[in-house]
Structure 1
């Protein structure tokens, strides 16, 4: 079988996923089981992978899926708990009092608060939380969804306490090729992921600096009475300041503490700085800009329902502002305490390890340390919040029920997507002595594209997120592929894998699943295409700029 034919066969499951999800608009819960079956059949009958190995790879994928779903459940449960305790409504009211100018609110609420939410929760949650908050502040539903989706860029790589790196890249790269590289360089997997993180924060830091500016520009251009870019210009200095206030602590935390914390602590630190600046009038435009009167809004700006952010309880029973924010602060503290290697807490949590070594004698293993996952911190924070906010059991029950329904929807998709990826990665052992499917694609790309690959690497990551709706899944799908291309082209694998991670984050701006989730919160379903046409602009900006940076980086970086 020629290399070109190998690459085509290996790409078929991805092409089928794109056809079903994008071309036929099939729901992911229906499409991904089909894609899994296609991948399994190709592995069995074309790649001639032993059946037991396909089954073992699928079981390995289910263990990884368990970890992801536990994190998703913890994150969503926390947010629903805050909604039903009234904390989200209190936070919303505090934001509206800082500045009445939507351009300033974009920087504070969408960019800073959204980055913090993304760092804590991930999985598109920030867009679904931001859209209702913005509608409640007077933004058109279409603008609210657009802004929530544009935020799904710089912070996403480190969303849900670094899950796209710690689960996505770790799972996607896991294989003999990485093991050889680590052994040759005396590195552990944690060391390698830290090297990737060091480069990711640089790529994101430069590109993300201008995202709040783009948000303000797009808002005045598409949702202002005069449809003018110029009306954004007085707010550009404040937006740039917001970019700096986030990316500086974001990069420092990435270098110093690793992938769990950049978005969360960067967002929290930047939020404190930008609120103080807004209250002091620093770089705030002297003239107020607002949306046109609601009566003049086109129909396509409007959602069919008001956003459900939860109502604050009556005065006297609602959480105070510090109580509303306390759960987020507790998450940051607990994650730092459990992730610092100098402290014993992380080792205690890791002591519970569920392991499945050498599944069916295939050499494929799987393991989970459930207590060490961020989900444990999220759930512990929920319990503290229940007491701190004096919630009723019925409120907690509603939060639990809503979170469970969300989990069931995500679970069906992930239960087929992740095993499909693991079949890909573990297809290296076969009767034809072929390289694994990702490496077959990598070999063909290396021969066809050559030294300009870094320019395209972020776009592959973005494609994965567009199809799968997740940075984590994109990294699982294409991590080994990007690693293989870098090896074939004698490029630093760390740099190319970092470009994959950054591109996958940018692709969340056009991830259909996330657009649907955010649109649903403000009654904007059925018009997702109009949002995607707008968010395509910042997506193209992001992958192009990062690709150009990647071309420069491969010539100067000396990492393995």
Structure 2
């Protein structure tokens, strides 16, 4: 069977997701079973994978889905605990004191706080923390999920203390022992290239977040209302990405997102309190009142305005649970501390499922869900809650988690079947590699443009930048070598594309939506995140093309042309918006002329 035909067949499960989930707007609970059946059918009858392997991959997917549901439950429980204790009311007031402008709030929480949490824990944890916090502040559930997904790009490559680079890229390349003798130094060098690509491409991410929010969830459905805060958005972007790039070059892949997010938070919150680059108070942007929201924006998670039993709570006490979450995530992920080894020592393993070489395992104490539940219990005592309120928090959290289970029990098994199609009697490579082979066969010298999209598709399927890098890093390296360019840049583009793929990854969207009770609207979320994903993959790919072909094609090549075109388009949109705003202000200041008599 030809490479092209195999590539098309490999694409079918993904096309099913695109058609039913995104195109026809089916809920994931209905669309994903179809995608699973297609993946199983291809595995059994085309790739001729033994039925035991397909069953084992499916069971492994169910185990992974269970761990995701555990994380979802913990995140919801923490939010509900804070709601019942009155902590959310105090946090909301604190952000209002900094700025009542929702555009400012979403940048601080999603972009900066989310980047810090991503650097600490990774694996979708920012959505489990930042998304419900935004809902608690009064954001529509869908707006919160979209914001949480879009920022799942720049910080992701260095999430979970550098796991996508140190584990994903290194494991992917280690299959070829002839690449280099000093593997760690080589991977670290790739990490610095990844940081540079992210730093440049990620500059517009905060602006994307606010523009999408005002366009899809604002009264006037206007991109321009988000673009008005471009100065603050770019300031927040550089406040994270500049220290991020410095750390990647000085300390390596473990800490760029964590330190970049933390430094960015300190800089931006301090500047915001002093009014630096902030929109005027009288122009603060907000959503319409809740009664006017579109019905599909709201989830089942109802945020109630509950005050603390004493009538008030200090800001430090209200924020303490989130501070503890961040602290515990850092302490339990650092290899230099004994906690990591202790938490990972208890591993529940299901070896050689159905007699295959597929095994499944999880580490209950190491999962972020355990930290969320532990912090929830601490909050019960810290905030002086009563038993009845805490019981309500547990009951509501259980109901919300169960609603998400149907989608995940088909989504993750489909992913595992798709990834485990190698070694079948037909002799084909696993589906993701056959898909990449098909694209590489037609791309030629233009491969850098496609390399980011392949990384993105890998993350879209697997739900993980780390897994995408493990699948495709060696493939990308070999394509780069065959092209005669610096292959480490091609691997870096893979890692950047894999990070951007988290924006549209089905099971990440399902998980983030489930945290705020937004079940059945996953396709609507992905439709809104497709544009920023396309920008990220295209811009980074164009930048990579310009870099790898610079010595042979000069600075004026197709890649640099597209980079310049996108940059000029962004400048034009900002300048046009500024001009329109200035004319409006001038008109308002002038007011109606009164004839003197």
Q: Output the TM-score relative to the length of structure 1.
A: 0.78
CA deviation after TM superposition for structure 1 residue 303, in Å: 6.9
CA deviation after TM superposition for structure 1 residue 343, in Å: 1.8
Root-mean-square deviation (CA), in Å?
4.6
Name the residue aligned to 1:152.
149
CA deviation after TM superposition for structure 1 residue 294, in Å: 6.2
Name the residue aligned to 2:71.
71
Q: 8 Å contact 2:80–2:397 — kept in the other structure? A: yes
CA deviation after TM superposition for structure 1 residue 242, in Å: 1.4
Q: Secondary structure at the match of 2:357?
A: coil
5 Å matches for 1:497-508? Answer: 497-507=494-504
Alignment partners' CA distance in 1, 2:34 and 2:174: 32
Alignment partners' CA distance in 2, 1:187 and 1:412: 46
Name the residue aligned to 1:374.
368
Name the residue aligned to 1:138.
none
Alignment partners' CA distance in 1, 2:180 and 2:101: 53
Alignment partners' CA distance in 2, 1:199 and 1:532: 28
Choose 1 or 2 for highest CA Rg.
2
Name the residue aligned to 1:495.
492
Q: 8 Å contact 1:257–1:340 — kept in the other structure? A: no
With over 3 angstroms needed to count, the CA separation of the structure-2 counterparts of 1:346 and 1:98, relative to structure 1, is: same
* Deviates further, 157-166 or 13-22: 157-166
With over 3 angstroms needed to count, the CA separation of the structure-2 counterparts of 1:83 and 1:528, relative to structure 1, is: farther
CA deviation after TM superposition for structure 1 residue 321, in Å: 0.8
Name the residue aligned to 1:130.
134
Name the residue aligned to 2:475.
484
CA deviation after TM superposition for structure 1 residue 109, in Å: 4.6
Q: Secondary structure at the match of 1:417?
A: helix
Q: 8 Å contact 1:87–1:324 — kept in the other structure? A: yes
With over 3 angstroms needed to count, the CA separation of the structure-2 counterparts of 1:7 and 1:226, relative to structure 1, is: closer
- Please point out which of 175, 182, 195 is paired with 1:180: 175
1:423 aligns with 2:417: yes
Alignment partners' CA distance in 2, 1:3 and 1:52: 26
Q: Secondary structure at the match of 1:355?
A: strand
Alignment partners' CA distance in 1, 2:359 and 2:286: 59
Gaps of 5+ in 2: 482-486, 551-597
CA deviation after TM superposition for structure 1 residue 494, in Å: 3.4
Name the residue aligned to 1:434.
428
Q: 8 Å contact 1:158–1:261 — kept in the other structure? A: no
- Please point out which of 228, 231, 238 is paired with 1:237: 231
- Please point out which of 310, 314, 324 is paired with 2:318: 324
How big is each residue's C-alpha offset from its partner over 1:51-93, in whole Å with a ceiling of 9 and x where there is no partner? 2222222233333333333333323322222222222221110
1:341 aligns with 2:332: no
CA deviation after TM superposition for structure 1 residue 504, in Å: 0.9
Name the residue aligned to 1:21.
21
CA deviation after TM superposition for structure 1 residue 187, in Å: 8.2
Alignment partners' CA distance in 1, 2:307 and 2:469: 46
Name the residue aligned to 2:345.
351
* Deviates further, 198-207 or 302-311: 302-311
Name the residue aligned to 1:93.
93
How many equivalent pairs are there? 539
Alignment partners' CA distance in 2, 1:265 and 1:23: 39
Alignment partners' CA distance in 2, 1:299 and 1:131: 14
With over 3 angstroms needed to count, the CA separation of the structure-2 counterparts of 1:78 and 1:284, relative to structure 1, is: same
Alignment partners' CA distance in 2, 1:515 and 1:321: 26
With over 3 angstroms needed to count, the CA separation of the structure-2 counterparts of 1:230 and 1:445, relative to structure 1, is: closer
Alignment partners' CA distance in 1, 2:471 and 2:523: 31
Q: Output the TM-score relative to the length of structure 2.
A: 0.74
- Please point out which of 364, 385, 391 is paired with 1:397: 391
How big is each residue's C-alpha offset from its partner over 1:223-247, in whole Å with a ceiling of 9 and x where there is no partner? 58896949955x4333322112222
Alignment partners' CA distance in 2, 1:381 and 1:182: 44
CA deviation after TM superposition for structure 1 residue 345, in Å: 1.4
Q: Secondary structure at the match of 2:349?
A: strand
Alignment partners' CA distance in 1, 2:540 and 2:399: 37
- Please point out which of 280, 283, 299 is paired with 2:277: 283
